Amino acid sequence: MSGSVVLLHLAGAVALLLFATRMVRTGVERAYGDVLRHRLRSVLRNPVLAILAGAALAICLQSATAVALLVGSFSGAGIVGGTSGLLAVLGADVGSALVVKLLSFDLSLLVPLCLAAGTAMFMATERRDWRQFGRILVGVGLLILSLRMIGEASEPLRESPILPVVVNYLSSDPVTAFLLAAIMTWLFHSSVAAILLVVALAARGLIPVELGLVLVLGANLGGGVIAVMLSRAAIPKARIVPLGNLIMRGTGALAALLVLIFFAPPLDWLGATVPDQLIHGHIAFNLMLALLGIPLAGLVHRLAGRIVALGAPEAQPASLAATELSALDEAALDTPSQALANATREVVRVCETVEIMLQRIIELYVEADQDKINALSALDDRVDRKHAAIKLYLAKVTSRTLSEADALRCQELIGACVKLEQVGDIIVRNMLVHVQKKFDRGLEFTEQGWRELTAFHTSVVANAKLAFNVLVSRDSETARQLVREKDRLRDLEKRSSQSHFERLREGTAKSVETSSIHLDTIRDLKQINSLLASMAYPVLEERGLLSGSRLKAG
């Protein structure tokens, strides 16, 4: 077999290894990701538990890099402390090393079992959790199969006249071998895959143990680089934990490399065979780093923070687009018509903010992260600030002598401002809680249930625009349309609830799991719509178009 064909087979086997590793990771993330993240957040306060939690999560995700990025984002959002986060990532490196050990056993019998069971599970049901579990099984089967393919593909290399020359050169130049392994691992974007390849080649007698350990150390350095490169576009605080992990792994790998070069320690205690020695050396290295991390994590985290701060751009003055201007001119208070116009402009700005909040909240039901949640909460804070400022301004206006029309307009603006503030509170204090509950429990709406929610939300957003137009134009026909929409939405809510309860009676699993979130969200949207619709009442009442609290026929 020619060398090019051998390399082609080896490349295909490595590609399958990378694909299978990713398949397992994405399956676990989709099926259990939210549960794992929630559990991880709750145990990271204890240093030892942080290490154990990181190791467990890396075993589940088949990737220490994924854990580093996840924990880095938690630390950047202030959900977990930086020191605990760094310990969790060091624990993830240990977990990744244990994955290599697990895959080194003879698991060939699992290949047909995992492929058959996983495929059957994936094809036989529409349940999301079962389909993802089937995906995980197929990924595990392909992962084990790829290791066997790497061994078979590398078998002809025994007879290669070039390989001994390359191995001898790398053995005599451990620094080059170390750097090549780091680059290879970064290209693979998986330290597990890189080390499994080294172990597979060593099992065929193609790599001596001394060179193998150098390559393993280089792979550890490359594994640390991956997370740093993938997080380079994140906010500075989220980059500190991956960089701290790279500092620990890089320093440790260089120190271990120097020990191998200058002291040539005995390696028999690591195992009876070369593959065992490489795997056990990999585990021992990462376990030692985790133990050293307990006293040193705080120091390394502070160092990484300073390095990130050096590379962060200097704070720039706020842009004109981000500058908040206020229309509440104190000099206009003695001219009520101008003061009320100023107040109207400011209330319209609150309307715009509330409209943005309404549009963004439904997006969080699909994909929520802490940055988006924080941004929505910040918008509510802005509404609260403007609400307080407008009420104070209008209170000063009412202390002047006002005409009857100006007094009524003043009360109308105060009422509208209060209702807008209540809408913001419902979005943040109620609907954000539903979002958090949905993702903490890993729940999914049924397709029909989600269509009902989005249709209801779309109607509420449309009615919000009508309400804001009424506030400015005071057009009676728009006000009448808004109140009619309130009645239509009441009927839509009844139909949605009936449809939801029918799905519950049929025993649809997703409907049962998401029942309270579905109903509570509809209720909150209905309450928001009622508050917005009531902004039309002053216009209708002024024109004699209200009968009690109901719209007169006409």
DSSP-derived secondary structure letter, 547 = E
Is the same domain home to 238 and 355?
no
With respect to residue 481, please indicate whether it lies within any of the assigned structural domains. Answer: yes
Confidence tier at 243 by pLDDT (50, 70, 90): very high
**pLDDT tens per residue across span 3-45:** 678 778 888 888 888 888 888 877 777 666 656 665 666 666 6
**How many of the other CB atoms lie within 10 Å of CB of 277?**
22
For residue 534, what is the domain's CATH number?
1.20.58.220
> Looking at the structure, do residues 171 and 227 belong to the same domain, yes or no?
yes
CA dihedral 309, 312, 315, 321 (to 10 degrees): -140
Residue 333 Rama label (left phi>0; alpha psi -120 to 50; beta): alpha
- My answer on whether 387 and 460 are in the same domain is yes
Instruction: Provide the number of structural domains found in the chain.
Output: 2
Kindly report, residue by residue over 118-158, the tens digit of the pLDDT: 999 988 877 767 888 898 899 889 988 888 888 788 778 76
Q: What is the pLDDT of residue 316?
A: 45
For range 362-366, the mean pLDDT: 83
Does residue 263 sit in the same domain as residue 380?
A: no
Residue 400 lies in a domain: yes
The pLDDT value given to residue 41: 61
Question: What is the rounded radius of gyration, in angstroms, for the C-alpha atoms of the chain?
Answer: 31
How far is the C-alpha of 148 from the C-alpha of 16, rounded, in Å? 11
Q: Where among 268, 284, 311 does a domain terminate?
A: 311
- Does residue 349 sit in the same domain as residue 293? no
pLDDT at 39: 65
Q: Whole-angstrom Cα distance, residue 65 to residue 21?
A: 12
Q: If you ran DSSP here, which 8-state letter would residue 258 be given? A: H
546 three-state secondary structure: strand
Q: How confident is the model at residue 318 (pLDDT cuts 50, 70, 90)?
A: very low
Containing structural domain, residue 503 = 330-551
Mean pLDDT value of segment 94-103: 91
Whether pTM exceeds 0.75: no
At 252, which amino acid appears? G
pLDDT value at residue 302: 92
Handedness of CA 124, 125, 131, 133 (dihedral sign): negative
- Residues 464 and 379 both lie in one domain: yes
Task: Give pLDDT tens digits for 180-216.
Answer: 999 988 888 888 888 988 998 898 888 999 999 999 9
Asked, for residue 534, whether it belongs to a domain, the answer is yes
* pLDDT tens readout for residues 499-553: 767 766 666 555 556 777 888 888 899 899 889 888 888 888 877 766 554 555 4
Residue 253 has pLDDT above 80, yes or no: yes
How would residue 487 be classed by pLDDT, with cut points 50, 70 and 90? confident
Same domain, 289 and 338: no
Based on the domain organization, do 256 and 383 belong to the same domain?
no
Q: Please report the pLDDT score of residue 545 as a whole number.
A: 67
Residue at 318 is within a domain: no
